[in-house]
Chains A and B, each alone.
Chain A
Amino acid sequence: MDEIYLNKILGGQTGEFRYFIETYKNFAFNLALSVVKNELDAEDVVQEAFIRAYNSLSSFNKKSKFSSWLYRIVVNCAYQQLDKSKRLKSESSHEDEIPIVTVNPLIEYYEEEEKKYCIEQALNLLSADESLVLNLYYLLDYKIREITEITGWSVSKTKVTLHRGRKTMKEAMLEVFSKHKITL
């Protein structure tokens, strides 16, 4: 399916790029979010990534999956955004920053929403690398080799980060869930 739309776009039908945006925006958003940990930044990252992808569509090697190629762009954009945010943060150096709550407080009462909120809080305790690799491995079902292609890391770094990610995630879940007195 991707290839059909790809050929249409390369043939001059620019509007067909909408298909890729509709298909991959949510996965791309979750990947970006795992790195930048902020919804607004993640949305900007996804937008930038789609534009970059469109501009370099002609250089896309059709041997690999379009999604892997796109996610690689998303990951690059996300890390660039993360560096930019870190620089801005160190310039303004607000130590007592108010954490961004990504769940509407009104629906926090509902058990499922509260669980979701706690999982998000736990994920925010993970480093960008750990969170990214967990999302790629578990949410998007990528194999280690494919993750190395997307992130540009070595196999050993990917495995170590995945292992560390699992450990940190478990610890973070225990911490957050015991604080909120919730059982999974």
Chain B
Amino acid sequence: MKSKEDLWFKDILEKSAQELNNPDFEDRVMKRIEVERFAGIRISRNKQISWILFALGTLFGLSLPYLIPWNDTLFMSLDISQIKMAVNVIMTVGILIVFGVILSGSMRKNKIHL
């Protein structure tokens, strides 16, 4: 049972109630939902592609030292084992950096801010 005061407040607030008078409002919201949905799908696909490319690149990078026919000679006054070591270090650092970037990207939500 509502008191007289409650009814007065209800009446006052009903009088002050406003309508959202934007005829495009529904269309605008629906359009944003659609855009975000498709962007989400695209971002998710891009993430998958980046993991596949990363795996292929890593595989290629790791197998590179075995694919090149190294001769036991000096190259630019450097010993071949030293060059191999340098290539391996650069490759490992590169893989770790790219792995970190892709991982942080994958953990983000598939969302765009419009």
Contact = CB atoms under 8 A, between A and B. Distances in A.
Interface string B13-28: 1111111101001101
Interface residues of A, number: 33
Nearest to B22: A43
Interface size of B as a range: 20 to 34
Contacts of A33: 18
Interface in B82-110: none
B66 interface: no
By DSSP majority rule, is chain B's interface helix, strand, loop, or mixed? Answer: helix
A51 B33 contact: yes
Contacts of B18: 26, 29-30, 33, 39, 102
Interface in B17-46: 17-20, 22, 25-26, 28-30, 32-34, 36-37
Task: Give 8 closest A-B pairs by Cβ, nearest first.
Answer: A29-B20, A119-B16, A139-B13, A138-B10, A138-B9, A138-B13, A21-B26, A50-B29
Interface of B: 5-6, 9-10, 12-20, 22, 25-26, 28-30, 32-34, 36-37, 111
Given A39-B18, A43-B22, 17 more contacts: A17-B30, A18-B26, A25-B25, A26-B17, A26-B18, A30-B18, A46-B20, A50-B29, A115-B15, A135-B13, A138-B6, A138-B9, A138-B10, A138-B13, A139-B10, A139-B13, A139-B14
